[in-house]
Amino acid sequence: MAESMGWPLLPWQQYVADVAGEIDDDTGTYHYSTIVITVQRQAGKTTIDAAAGIQNAMLGKNRRVWYTAQTGQHASAKWREMVDDFFMQSPLSCIGKASYSNGAQQLRFLTGSTLSPHPPTEDSLHSKQSDRNTIDEYWAFDALQAQHLRGAIVPTTTTRRKLTGHRPQLWIMSTEGTGESEALNELLKSLRHHVPDRVAFFDWGIPHDVQMPDADKTDEVAKFLDTCYYYHPGAGRLFEREDMDGFLADLGLPEFTRAYGNRRTGAVSRVIPEADWNRAATTEKAPADAPMCLGAAVGKDGTDATITATWLLDDGRKITEVIKHAYGTTWVIDDLEILSQSFDAYCVIDSAGPSADLYSAASKSEHINLLDMTIRQYTGACSSVFSGIVHVDEERNKLAPIWLHRPHTALNEAADTAAKRSTGDGAWAWGRRASTGSISAIEAATLSSFGVDNLPEVHGLQAF
């Protein structure tokens, strides 16, 4: 279909088509029911979607293919692009006819099958049927919108496999979003941890350990553009390296990173500046005899938990490392008992909020040495971590960071999305509800950092 429309598939598109179109030998129908694709801008996302949609429509009579995006207007505009720029300009135009009337937009084929746009609303597909659905620009949806939209799509596919002999497919396509892209962020977090059998997951972009450079460092920016170009599946085919400089000038570094690196950007107002956070990253290891404390925190709604360790170096610097980050909380006590005994270490857990049950369980364990902390001490610890990262002198001149972290995806994401909540009189703490993702990693890091500064004094044997 793509070649017939004059747009032969690029290698990445061909790979998607090959995998997403796999047929089960036993059933003779599609193996995958859900296709999730994250890819950079200017890669040809519309081409593969248009070709796959038209191909699906041509599998039989009276098939129904639907497309939606972040708004009804966007969905209509993109559908017109597929129809006018791809289909109607190709030799295939003789097998279909387009209707552009508002509310009745559709590309109808001689077989009676249709490809139509619809707004991303809960009732937009009411009493409709579908064999293939695309949700484009998934990054723009919050969790509730996505839940309603997917809830509207599923009933339209219920009887189609028995009726047509083909498994219905849902294609979710997007460039990475921001810290506020609730639906996409949760979906990617889940799929990067585990991909179910009936889901095909394609995830392009620069490696997650590549840091966004300081905008004022020309050499670092140039290297960053080289990296983005290298990992872009459309590079050298849809644009050249010199075009990247223009993309950057048009978008600015954060939006360029999202669009052409396919990397998530932070909350609307990021608390910890990314450049300072990057400078505080280290591969240095603490000496074996350095004082150490553990911290553990549970994310909002108990979705995840993190254990960290912080070491205090002789020169006053601290190094924090994520020991473990995982979904749920049932694993935490067992791990803390092992770590506490192995390192003969204290542990700090918040006695309120999502971590309250964890604190209660830890306090009953004979193998966990808890170090208590007041809310005032916690707000002080939040400020201490921040000032250790954004380290300046009295005249606000930048100094080398004294709070260091060993790079870890969960910690980077927490720093990216963490927001503040006021506790009065100018004091603040990390705000779980105000943040756009789980911040259990930065919370645990703050707790272990407080703990290493407040370890009980160890007295040797004294004789009187």
Three-state SS string over 132-147 comes to: EEEEECHHHCCHHHHH
In a 3-state reduction of DSSP, which class is residue 239?
strand
Q: What is the pLDDT of residues 63-83, one digit of tens each?
A: 999 999 988 888 998 999 999
Q: In degrees to the nearest 10, what's the CA dihedral of 179, 180, 182, 186?
A: 0
In this structure, the chain runs to a length of 464
Distance (Å, whole) CA 175 – CA 40 = 6
| pLDDT higher than threshold 70 for residue 269 | no
pLDDT at 3: 92
Percentage of the chain beyond pLDDT 70 is 96
- Residue 291 contacts residue 311 (beta carbons within 8 Å): yes
pLDDT at 459: 46
pLDDT at 270: 64
Domain 11-203: state its class.
Answer: alpha beta
pLDDT at 266: 58
- Range from 24-33, 192-201, 412-421, 443-452 carrying the lowest mean pLDDT: 412-421
The pLDDT of 91-118, averaged and rounded, is: 92
Query: What mean pLDDT, rounded, does the chain reach?
Result: 90
Distance (Å, whole) CA 212 – CA 197 = 34
Distance (Å, whole) CA 386 – CA 380 = 10
pLDDT at 265: 73
| pLDDT higher than threshold 90 for residue 179 | no
User: Which helix (H) or strand (E) is 187 found in, with range?
Assistant: helix 182-193
Distance (Å, whole) CA 168 – CA 156 = 10
Geometric angle at alpha carbon 256, from 442 and 240, rounded to 5°: 140
Burial of 269 (0-12, 13-18, 19+ CB in 10 A): exposed
The DSSP secondary-structure symbol of 455 reads P
pLDDT at 245: 92
**Tokens 């139509």 — which residue?**
116
Beta bridge partners of 311: 292, 319
Distance (Å, whole) CA 447 – CA 440 = 10
Residues of the chain with CATH 3.30.420: 275-453
pTM value > 0.75? no
pLDDT at 434: 64
Distance (Å, whole) CA 460 – CA 462 = 6
Distance (Å, whole) CA 404 – CA 318 = 6
Which comes out higher in pLDDT, residue 321 or 419?
Answer: 321
The β-bridge relationship of strands 369-370 and 346-349 is: parallel
Burial of 355 (0-12, 13-18, 19+ CB in 10 A): buried
The pLDDT of 223-241, averaged and rounded, is: 96
pLDDT at 267: 44
pLDDT at 300: 81
The pLDDT of 101-107, averaged and rounded, is: 87
**Closest to 53 in 3D by CA, of 10, 5, 91:** 5
- Residue 324 contacts residue 311 (beta carbons within 8 Å): no
**Tokens 């579908």 — which residue?**
130
Q: What is the pLDDT of residues 134-174, one digit of tens each?
A: 999 999 888 888 999 999 999 999 889 888 889 999 999 99
* Burial letters 130-161, b for 16+ CB under 10 A, else e: bbbbbbbbbbbbeeebbeebbebbeebbeebb
Distance (Å, whole) CA 247 – CA 255 = 10
Distance (Å, whole) CA 280 – CA 277 = 5
Q: Which two tokens stand for residue 73?
A: 């207007």
pLDDT at 458: 58
Which comes out higher in pLDDT, residue 303 or 384?
Answer: 384
- Residue 440 contacts residue 297 (beta carbons within 8 Å): yes
| pLDDT higher than threshold 70 for residue 461 | no
Burial of 438 (0-12, 13-18, 19+ CB in 10 A): buried
pLDDT at 425: 67
Distance (Å, whole) CA 174 – CA 69 = 10
Residues of the chain with CATH 3.40.50.300: 11-203
The DSSP secondary-structure symbol of 92 reads G
- Banded model confidence at residue 230, pLDDT cuts 50, 70, 90: very high
**Closest to 404 in 3D by CA, of 303, 290, 300:** 290
Q: For residue 96, which amino acid is it?
A: G
pLDDT at 180: 72
What would the CATH number be for the domain defined by 275-453? Answer: 3.30.420
**Closest to 183 in 3D by CA, of 147, 152, 151, 153:** 147
Q: For residue 274, which amino acid is it?
A: E
| pLDDT higher than threshold 90 for residue 358 | yes
pLDDT at 436: 65
**Tokens 């050249």 — which residue?**
240
- 6 sits in the region (left: phi over 0; alpha: psi -120 to 50; else beta) called left
The pLDDT of 363-379, averaged and rounded, is: 93
Distance (Å, whole) CA 4 – CA 324 = 51
| pLDDT higher than threshold 80 for residue 463 | no
Q: What is the pLDDT of residues 25-59, one digit of tens each?
A: 888 999 999 999 999 999 999 999 999 999 999 99
Q: What is the per-residue DSSP string for 367-390?
A: T-EE----HHHHHHHHHHHHHHHS
